[in-house]
Amino acid sequence: NAGVTQTPKFQVLKTGQSMTLQCAQDMNHNSMYWYRQDPGMGLRLIYYSASEGTTDKGEVPNGYNVSRLNKREFSLRLESAAPSQTSVYFCASRDRAGAGTEAFFGQGTRLTVV
Amino acid sequence: KNEVEQSPQNLTAQEGEFITINCSYSVGISALHWLQQHPGGGIVSLFMLSSGKKKHGRLIATINIQEKHSSLHITASHPRDSAVYICAVGFRNQFYFGTGTSLTVIP
């Protein structure tokens, strides 16, 4: 009963380094999301994938890329990390977008860019 | 633009007190979600509701669609209820989140 699994849990990067945050869900959900959480702000959508094979930009996509590798996996890539990308990142999934379905969240990745 | 507003931002209560957290939203929604986040922890879904009222243990969530307002109540609060409570609304393909209410329950 893993639900949504994110890796890594913690990461420190130097400015300009790249990294990929991994997310996998085992609930056969169609829709997957990447959010960032910053102090004093609500969760903000970076990218989402409404279904396998599609991805769309959210509110704050600049500096990020995503890949919906298959139905289970949705990765988030930082090509050249910047201090402004220091944040807690959450992956989420739900059965389908555009409907009243429950969302399931991963445990978060705490990223610090120095 | 804040599609979802929560109040209060911070709340301190004595153990045993009745707690209410409020959420107002401005978009038409498919459902409203209440989420819980413990310090340093992940996010857990408490309720999803589109009308009326739901109860789970000491937690009760209500929604008034006409007024675009929801409340989360905690009866007989306990220190383990200390967490951030987040209201989120589902609209089209996305969720919109409030900034959260940080609750501290003192023994």
Give residue-wise pLDDT tens across range B35-93: 999 988 889 999 999 899 999 999 999 999 999 999 999 999 999 999 999 999 987 77
Mutate to test the interface with B, among A10, A29, A33, A43 (most CBs of B within 10 A): A43
Peptide bond preceding A8 in cis form (omega within 30 of 0): yes
On average, the pLDDT of chain B sits at 92
pLDDT of res. A95: 85
Q: Which residues on A lie below 8 Å from B94 (Cβ)?
A: 45, 48, 58, 97
pLDDT of res. A99: 59
Shortest CB distance from B45 goes to which of A50, A99, A104?
A: A104
pLDDT (tens digit per residue) in A54-85: 999 999 999 999 999 899 999 999 999 999 99
User: Is A97's pLDDT higher than 80?
Assistant: no
Question: Pick the residue with more confidence: A100 or A110?
Answer: A110
pLDDT of res. B52: 93
pLDDT of res. A96: 72
Please indicate whether, in this complex, the C-beta atoms of A90 and B92 are within 8 angstroms of each other.
Answer: no
DSSP letter assigned to residue B75: S
CA distance B89 to B91: 6
Sheet containing A74-78: order of strands: A4-7, A19-25, A74-78, A64-68
Please indicate whether, in this complex, the C-beta atoms of A100 and B35 are within 8 angstroms of each other.
Answer: no
Q: Which residues on B lie below 8 Å from A103 (Cβ)?
A: 33, 45, 88, 90, 95
CB atoms within 10 A of CB B38: 13
pLDDT of res. B95: 85
Amino acid (one-letter) located at A97? A
Counting one residue from A and one from B, how many pairs have CB atoms under 8 Å apart? 64
Would you state the structure tokens that stand for residue A44, as one six-digit string?
A: 């903000």
pLDDT of res. B28: 76
In the stretch 8-27 of chain B, residues with CB closer than 8 A to chain A read none
Longest dimension (CA), chain B: 42
Touching check for B75 and chain A: CB below 8 Å?
no
What pLDDT band is residue B1 in, cutting at 50, 70 and 90? low
Task: Summarize the confidence of residues A45-50 as an average pLDDT.
Answer: 94
pLDDT (tens digit per residue) in B15-39: 999 999 999 998 777 789 999 999 8
User: Is A1's pLDDT higher than 80?
Assistant: no
User: Is A100's pLDDT higher than 80?
Assistant: no
